[in-house]
Amino acid sequence: CLIKMTFLFNLIKVYFIVVIATNILFSQRVVGYYPQWVQGSLPISSIDFSVVTHVNHAFAWPDENADIQSYSNMFNISNAQTIHSQGAKFLLSLGGWGNDVGFEAVVSSPSLRNDFINNLIDICDNYGYDGVDLDWEHPNSTQNRQYLNLLVAEMDSMFNDFDSELLITMAVPISNWSGQWYDFNFLKSHIDFFNAMTYDIHGGWSSNAGHNSPLFQSPPGDSDGSCSTGIGYLATTRGIPREKINLGIPLWGKKYSTYDINQSFSGTVEDMWYHEIVPLIGNGWSYHWDSNAFCPYLIKDDESKIITFDNPESIGFKCEYAKTQNLGGVMIWALGYDIVNGGQELIQSIGENYLENDSENINPFPESISIKAYPNPFNSNCKIEFELPNDEFLNIDIYSIRGEFIENLFSGGKSKGQHRYHWNVNSMISDISSGVFFISLNSERINAVTKILYLK
């Protein structure tokens, strides 16, 4: 019996390693927006193609006659040649904040939609784009929602007739404020993948000086949401397949006039690129970590301002979240914002934590922690206790003795230290029989399992 239990215990360990390996193999999409204004500091040849798989060239947009307008000097066939030589895809991103004036006129007219799509086909053909990314910010009516459906369906058909390999992707909001004007049930059949804008979660419009891109709500239950609530909205509420969703990762932050995180603020909120933030650490600004948001922030020494941002550690947690949630990829806004001393350390963090490019640092056997589950045996409710050596994003799952998944007790962030959780069998939707079960704690760095006997 002891040999059998040891075999099953090791089998479950192998199961989790296989799950992680499978996620790595099939979730390799890294989409980087490449705005025209970073071209001087980040030539296309300097993009890290060991990480970036798709380059979204930003921005072009339609005018009210369906002609394609763009920032100056956008189109050059050598751009595509350089990107394709690195094995990456090159898409033209259409729209962006403030470039929405022509969308409403174009989508509402059958003839203008046709002209617009033909113009895009010509540009893709002439300049080597592999497709287009739609970033209309935002449709704002039921009528616009229907017109967007017509545009995408016609674009899908006409692109397919010209070149079936052309991609159509879309940048999308993560809450119902703007998301209500997108018919995702229709769009998901025509869009190759969706770039979730899991940033700008707080800003000048918010009631408090919150994080730009909190992985989880801070404070817990914050009505402005988080990356996690945003992905839940798109995948669960709106039904977009997870493999079609890319988690947005910002390489920039926000400066507020206030004394601490999540407090009221005054004045204008300033956007700051990562490379502008890093030199401030220890130079009149102190570094802090929010264990609820899984994000850092800075406080000015005179307590007059704070800066919320992402760093390699917080991006590592976001990458871990994307893998454990079986998302199709991650998206970056924007390439070039993290250049510090010639390096791109946030892009490097994605490579190490999402693609696991730095194979020398990979430990195939995550560190062990101990789990206490009592009473054991139990007949309705058992307590689960464990201590985390670090802040972690983790899953607490129940499996049968045969390795069958029973229930997820928790999925989210836990801070360093002692924790207690409860498994109440009576609260489960489906009934289970008496027997031996396994309680598993699983994260990127932890793989811990203990067994417990349930007696009715």
Q: Collect the ranges in the chain with pLDDT lower than 70.
A: 1-27, 358-368, 403, 429, 444
pLDDT at res. 19: 38
Which residue do the tokens 């802090």 mark? Answer: 288
Alpha-carbon separation of residue 21 from 8, 26, 168, 392 (angstroms): 20, 9, 28, 19
CA separation for the pair 354, 317 (Å, rounded): 9
* Beta pairing class for 89-95 and 131-135: parallel
Within 13 Å of residue 153, how many CA atoms lie on the same side as its CB?
11
| Angle of the 345-353 helix axis to the 312-324 helix axis, nearest 10 | 30
Q: For the chain, what is the largest distance between any 2 Cα atoms, rounded to a whole number of angstroms?
A: 76
> Residue 69 burial by CB count (10 A; 0-12/13-18/19+): exposed, middle or buried?
middle
The string of pLDDT tens digits covering residues 17-55 is: 333 333 333 448 999 999 999 999 999 999 999 999 999
> Using one digit for the tens of pLDDT, what is the confidence trace for 175-217?
999 999 999 999 999 999 999 999 999 999 999 999 999 999 9
Whole-prediction pTM value?
0.80
According to the model, what pLDDT value does residue 399 have? 81
Q: Which of 350, 317, 345, 314 is nearest to 332 (CA)?
A: 350
Number of helices (H), then strands (E), in the chain = 11, 23
Which of 248, 246, 228, 227 is CA-nearest to residue 334?
Answer: 248
Cα dihedral 319, 324, 325, 329 sign: positive
* pLDDT for position 444: 67
